[in-house]
Amino acid sequence: MVNLRYKWTPFLSYGQKLELKKNTFVYRQGENGRGFYYLGQGGVKISLLSDNGHERVIDYVPIGTLLGEHGAHRGTYLTTAVTTTPSILYHFSDEALSRVCKDHPHAAMIFTNSHIYKVRLLAEIISYLDSPVEHQMAHFLLKLIQIHENENIPINQTSFARYIGTSRITVNKIIQKWRQQGFIQFSNGVIQVIQIERIREILTQVESV
């Protein structure tokens, strides 16, 4: 992910700048594709809905990366993207993409790598599906630190539960446990990681079981 950040920034002039309020849908699962987006500022969460109405958050988009690559080339949006704060995005239609690729042939590979990264992200979720919840929470918490480039993570327990695919109660139990152990602080929907090393240890401990 780190090496994909800001790779697309040189091509922003080909896109259309959008200023979106909090809780705005960027695209919805099942809609016909109208191209893809670049997150310039703010935050976007990506979620997956099953037909029985179950929602699972699968990603929080890092600033400086692309989203909705599946909607390019007249594809279909496979997930839903919603802003979590007021955000600035850049929209790239299929025409814009082909103009970028024509002027800068290496852009095609940047787009493709970003697209493939999304497949890897899903594979990563699958590889943790059968892990204990504490293990999954530690893994995704470390990931959120990377995404936000900050140890204060704005996420409430309901959202965290949807990210892990479990109940809020289960998440709450572990958050309380970590708080008592002094690994984290939690207030007003912000998790502050105090002892990142201890969270990393949880991962290795469970792995060795």
Partner 1 sequence: MVSPFETDLKWETFLKYGKRQFVKGKSVIYYQGSLGDGFYYLHKGLVKIVTSTVKGKDRLLNIVVPGQLLGIQTMDRQTHFTTAIAVKDSVVYHFSCEQFAKLMKERPELLPLFAQTVNQKMRILLYAINMKALSSEEQIAALLLNICDEFKNYEVPLTQQDLAHCTGLTRITVYKILKQWKEDGLIDIEQRKFVIKRPDVLRKLNLSAPTAKTV
* Footprint on this chain of partner 1 (rule: CB under 8 A): 30, 48, 50-52, 54, 56, 58, 69-70, 72-76, 78-79, 98, 101-102, 105, 108-109, 111-113, 115-120, 122-131, 135, 165, 207
Smallest gap from Cβ 192 to partner 1, in A, equals 26
Shortest separation between residue 42's beta carbon and partner 1, angstroms: 24
Residue 20 or 59 having the CB closest to partner 1? 59
Determine the length of the chain.
209
Looking at this protein, which amino acid is placed at residue 96?
Answer: A
1 in Cβ contact with 65 (< 8 Å): yes
Task: Rank residues 34 and 179 by Cβ distance to partner 1 and give the closer one.
Answer: 34
CB of 166 to partner 1, least distance (A): 10
**Between 194 and 203, CB nearer to partner 1:** 203
| Shortest spacing between CB 74 and partner 1, in angstroms | 8
Least distance between partner 1 and beta carbon 183 (Å): 20
- Residue 129 or 169: the one with the smaller Cβ distance to partner 1 is 129
CA distances from 10 to 102, 148, 190 (A): 14, 22, 33
Sequence-distant (6+) residues with CB within 8 A of 157 are: 168, 171, 172, 175
Tell the smallest beta-carbon distance from residue 30 to partner 1 (Å): 7
Select 51 or 197, whichever has its Cβ closest to partner 1: 51
Nearer residue to partner 1 within complex by CB, 1 or 196? 1
